[in-house]
Amino acid sequence: QKEVEQDPGPLSVPEGAIVSLNCTYSNSAFQYFMWYRQYSRKGPELLMYTYSSGNKEDGRFTAQVDKSSKYISLFIRDSQPSDSATYLCAINQGAQKLVFGQGTRLTINP
Amino acid sequence: KAGVTQTPRYLIKTRGQQVTLSCSPISGHRSVSWYQQTPGQGLQFLFEYFSETQRNKGNFPGRFSGRQFSNSRSEMNVSTLELGDSALYLCASSLSRTPDTQYFGPGTRLTVL
């Protein structure tokens, strides 16, 4: 079993839709959760960073961690074509080692 | 503030050769981590350097090695290249070794023929 599981998609939605991206993880000891966005031919860019459980909001983006079910989510409201990218969840396994999900390729259609 | 820079951006090598990739972290950042990204395996952690010492290592063979210099710049080396080493190699830097954010460079695209 992979430490972090993420549906690779692809996911295609119309502009303005609410997007829900999800990951599950196996080790309940994980405490630090990140979402990265990666455009084609670019390195990943940090979007959201959450410690432990709960929600964190930043503009149109909301990150949610449910430690009881080992489930992390990223919600994008009022999605824009510029949000089209691959979204990667990541967990800090300690000492700077990030474990990534496979990444979900998202397309927002105008 | 300049971001993480990686050189070269693209590289083509043949099997059996060796390659050295370079990473310059964000100014003031002392921790540098390396990752390999492939379509099949996704993003995988290679190793991390801090204060010129390797602090953490992923599950890669000994052909993959790295080092960090006193100015925090880092290099990674892959010897005896295999076709499966074709990947995007990403470098990430962070200010300290707390479970903090890491900032990624654009990567070096290595193709092994």
pLDDT of residue A59 exceeding 80, the answer is: yes
In the predicted structure, residue B100 carries a pLDDT above the cut 70: no
Averaged pLDDT for residues B42-58: 93
Closest residue of chain A to B32, computed from CA coordinates: A96
Q: Residue B99 — pLDDT band, cuts 50, 70, 90?
A: low
User: Which site among B9, B43, B53, B54 would you substitute to test the A interface, given the most A Cβ atoms closer than 10 Å to its Cβ?
Assistant: B43
Contact: A97, B103; criterion CB under 8 Å: no
Put simply, the answer to whether B97 touches A95 (Cβ < 8 Å) is: yes
Helix (H), strand (E), coil (C) string for B12-57:
EECCCCCEEEEEECCCCCCEEEEEEEECCCEEEEEEEEECCEEEEE
Candidates A31, A46, A96; nearest CB to B31: A96
- Chain B residue numbers with beta carbons less than 8 Å from the beta carbon of A101 are 42
Mean pLDDT of B22-40: 94
Q: Using the predicted structure, report yes or no on whether residue A97 has a pLDDT greater than 70.
A: yes
